[in-house]
Chains A and B, each alone.
Chain A
Amino acid sequence: MSPTITTAGELTADDLPGTRPDGGQGAPVYDVTVVGAGVVGAAIARELARYRLRTALLDASDDIGNGTSKANTAILHTGFDAVPGSLEARLVREGQQRLRAYAAETGIPVERVGALLVAWDEEQLAALPALLAKAERNDYHAARLLDAGELRAREPHLGPGALGALEIPDESIICPWTTPLAYATQAVRAGVHLHLNCRVRHIDSGDDVHTLTTTRGTLHTRHLINAAGLHADELDRELGHDDFTVTPRRGQLIVFDKLARGLVGHILLPVPTAAGKGVLVAPTVFGNVLLGPTAEDLDDKTATGSTADAITMLREKGRRILPELLDEEVTAVYAGLRAATGQEDCRIRSRPDRRYIAVGGIRSTGLTASMAIAVHVMELLGDSGLDPGTPSELPPVTMPNLGEAFPRPYQDAGLIAADPAYGTLVCHCERVSAGEIRDALTGTVPPHSPDGLRRRTRAGNGRCQGFYCGAAVRALFEEART
């Protein structure tokens, strides 16, 4: 079966499930349509791909994982600090186990660096035992308290005044870009139709079928899954529900150069306060150091710009946590929007009578919980009258490694001997080879912009931000498009 991905033009019968490549006719109706190809939507599509269902995955933008999923803190959480007993706590705990196993199988880079909740004053120090107890209530039993000496031994570059910490040895860092790409790749290869640049404008819900009017034409589906992230509330209202309102919460982050990586070993978390989870310093799987995020509630769902005030605030906080970090070069400044709903828990709501499931209010734990959310949604679908049949194993997928802690093609003599393109470096800062760029451009889910290529290969993502390779990478991208 050749994969179906469409990106432009009116959706025609050929793109839809009714007409098969052999010319045979079927009902032009999808069994399930997932709106939103972020990490959660892609995970759901992948889960659906295990069944004999006609499934569509839609996204308003030109790429998968192009909203909240591409701009977060890239942490694989243990869920130690979730609200005990909440749906989110369960999904994070289960999702973490599933994604960890999936990552090992597919080559998604994960590093178990551990987290330290650092207490900077007596009040924060006094709060740590309660957090330890909360971790226990979340069925997380490896956390332990460190005194100031143990903390300093673990993180010698920490600023002065740290009094102690709670250690969470299993908190991990993960590649936020390879994860949804792996899901989407497997889903598309297994027959899920991916329609990009396909924004849902209007929905008519009949007795059997939802009719979706999109920017690229009309499609029909029996079941509808709303994984539209920041826009999930709008889609929900389109169906006549008013369960939640998404208030975009902006998180601005600063990425420091790889030469800073030696300054920090763990994810350094602040002790949470009433004002939120606060600003962290964390390594990334790409070998950088992340400082952020801010937490600003906005009304504009497109406000992904950074601001001078936030950069100043982050630098002040960072200077206290890891003073030497501020002497290092900055590689990137970015902002992402979390889909806050004013509720602590996520808002996954099934309406079996309407064959509709809303997966709303998925915030910073969405990446970690994605696979568990997908399984949960599948169960809810079964309850709403869909008989999916028996699941089958998906053919395994191997993702290109973008992680610094694992072998990369430029280090692999055998690979280069077999194909010299892997020894031809194009992006020098990130050591991305022509072979990897070619593979991404001809992959199952190829990029449709240099930015999409950047997320698949890291080309152009390094300290020079394209000074050396920007034009060459663009040339390769444009060559592949013609």
Chain B
Amino acid sequence: MTRRERTVDVLIVGGGPAGLGAGAELAASGAGRVEILEREQTAGGIPRHCHHGGFGGHTIGGGTTGPAYARGCVAAAVRAGAILRTGVTVTGWAGPLTVDTTAPTGLERITARAIVLATGARERPRSARLVPGSRPPGVYTTGELQQAVHLHRQRIGSRAVVIGNEPVGRAAADTLRVAGLDVVAMVTDQPSSRLAALTRPGDRTPVLGRTTVTALTGRERLTGVAVRHHDGRTTTLRCDTVVFTGDWIPDHELARRGELALDPGTRGPAYDAAHRTTGTGIFAVGNLLHGVESAGFALAEGRAAAAPVLRHLTTGAWPTGRTPLAVDAPLRWIAPNLIGPDGGLPLRGRFTLRTTGRLASPLFVVRQDGRELHRQRLLLPAVPDRAFHLRADWLDRVDPHGGTVRIAVR
């Protein structure tokens, strides 16, 4: 086998906002040769096909569009001096800090002094959600739909049902309308959100809350989505297109094949506030850590990881025996989920959490080995489709030799 063997200082796997943010910051800080590998032909990640506003801005509808945001991230990384290579796929590990790649230009084996994984997240497809029924064409995730419409201008169908009522689901509905489809309903097993209706006054799409999909029907083409309401009523929504939205899972193949410990909640690599995984010299950033937060959050994480990467390049130090963080149901996950020995705080001094069910003004209790470390009430409700946060100023109370720190909610 002929593989070209090379070494770099920092290898970043994934050219979405997180990887590009890390690359820009590292290259600008004099980390040496910083190389970003992107398997798609164009870098920029998922924002490339999100043709809606809100990127880079905090108000709904503000900021710039996804493609413009993606181009901005790419330009910043290249301007800073990072080497960005597209159409290059990392296919596996050949050593603790060595990967094999495939590209049209050939096969390589690249060894780095530090590796930053930024492989992102994807939506769970219909099969992974175990939705029964037939398997006709016309079944999409938001990611596939947006690429089909915005990148390839493909014909989709005429009547669509969207499964999900979170921001991603509403982006899917917008894309369907751009493609000329009628969105006949949005279906969610959660109570339908009144907030969503208030923020989108022109949107008259019926939202079926507390409703589950029981089957897809159709052979040559999708003919309908069978649903069951919480009160037991069943019906079939006639449509030729269905989009399964949200339900993100980190794209963790490389992390798992590298035998990094995964967090059971996020399904991404376990990591500490310095973005260190359990693999020495391997950092992780962006939605690989928590499918899924905003592009802006991923970019900020990428940038924030640069300082610890530089520190590691200088000292070679790597922590062992970090204290894990875990959540109790109905909380889904917390990120970061390891506590480093050096007292570093996560981005913006707070942890990010998600819940599986709505919590009205929840009271969080942080404990280690039965000892209470922190208690904090959230004034706004916590809802499943949005991140909420927990202050991190109690970290100095953690016993580094103690057991798992658990976050419960009352």
Interface positions of A (Cβ within 8 A of B): 255, 259, 302, 304-308, 310-311, 329-334, 410-411, 413-414, 416-417, 420-421, 423-425, 428-429, 431, 449-451, 463-468, 470-472, 474-475, 478
Contacts and interface: CB of A to CB of B under 8 A. Distances in A.
A466 B141 CA distance: 8
A342 to B, nearest CB: 26
Contacts of A259: 253, 256-257
A431 B90 CA distance: 10
B128 A331 contact: yes
A330 B130 contact: yes
Contacts of A464: 122, 125, 141, 143, 251
Contacts of B124: 329
A329 B132 CA distance: 16
B91 A411 contact: yes
Contacts of B2: 413-414
Nearest to A306: B132
Interchain residue pairs A-B with the least CB separation, the first 9: A465-B125, A420-B104, A471-B147, A471-B148, A470-B144, A423-B104, A305-B134, A467-B143, A413-B2
B122 A474 contact: no
A478 B137 CA distance: 15
B152 A423 contact: no
Contacts of A431: 89, 91, 102
Nearest to A333: B127
Given A330-B127, A464-B125, A410 B105 contact: no
Given A467-B123, A474-B148, A413 B106 contact: yes
B214 interface: yes
A449 B138 CA distance: 13
Contacts of B140: 466, 470
Nearest to B267: A329
B154 interface: yes
A154 to B, nearest CB: 23
Contacts of B151: 471
A330 B127 CA distance: 6
Nearest to B219: A302
Contacts of B133: 305-306
B122 A424 contact: no
B105 A474 contact: no
Given A330-B127, A428-B39, A471 B102 contact: no
Given A330-B127, A331-B128, A471 B152 contact: yes
A467 B134 contact: no
Contact of A470 (B134, B147, B214): B147
Interface of B: 1-3, 39, 87, 89, 91, 102-107, 122-128, 130, 132-135, 137, 140-141, 143-144, 147-148, 151-152, 154, 214-215, 217, 219, 249, 251, 253, 256-257
Contact of A331 (B105, B127, B143): B127
A192 B93 CA distance: 47
Given A259-B256, A413-B106, A334 B147 contact: no
Contacts of A466: 125, 140-141, 144
A334 B122 contact: no
9 contacts: A259-B253, A308-B130, A334-B135, A410-B102, A417-B106, A423-B104, A423-B105, A465-B126, A466-B144
A304 B143 contact: no
A424 B128 contact: no
A329 B107 CA distance: 29
Contacts of A331: 127-128
A307 to B, nearest CB: 5
A425 B89 contact: yes
Contact of B143 (A305, A428, A468): A468
Given A308-B214, A466-B141, A468-B122, 4 more contacts: A255-B127, A306-B132, A329-B124, A463-B253
Given A467-B141, A471-B151, A471-B152, A423 B123 contact: no
Contacts of B144: 466-468, 470-471
Nearest to A62: B220
Contacts of B219: 302
Given A413-B1, A420-B105, A428-B39, A474 B141 contact: no
B14 to A, nearest CB: 11
Given A428-B89, A465-B127, A467-B144, A416 B106 contact: yes
A90 to B, nearest CB: 36
Nearest to A417: B106
A308 B132 CA distance: 6
A331 B125 CA distance: 8
Contact of B125 (A302, A305, A467): A467
Contacts of A421: 104
Contact of B134 (A304, A330, A425, A463): A304
B105 A425 contact: no
Contacts of B128: 329-331, 463, 465
A282 B137 CA distance: 28
Contacts of A332: 127
Contacts of B103: 423-424
A302 B152 CA distance: 33
A258 B151 CA distance: 29
Given A307-B132, A428-B39, A472 B249 contact: no
Given A311-B132, A411-B107, A413-B3, A474 B253 contact: no
A471 B91 contact: no
A474 B154 contact: yes
Contact of A471 (B132, B137, B154, B217): B154
Contacts of B143: 464, 467-468
A313 to B, nearest CB: 12
Contacts of B251: 464
Contacts of B89: 410, 425, 428, 431
A332 B106 CA distance: 32
A472 B91 contact: no
Nearest to A331: B127
Nearest to A315: B130
A429 B102 CA distance: 14
Contacts of A413: 1-3, 106-107
Given A424-B104, A468-B122, A333 B132 contact: yes
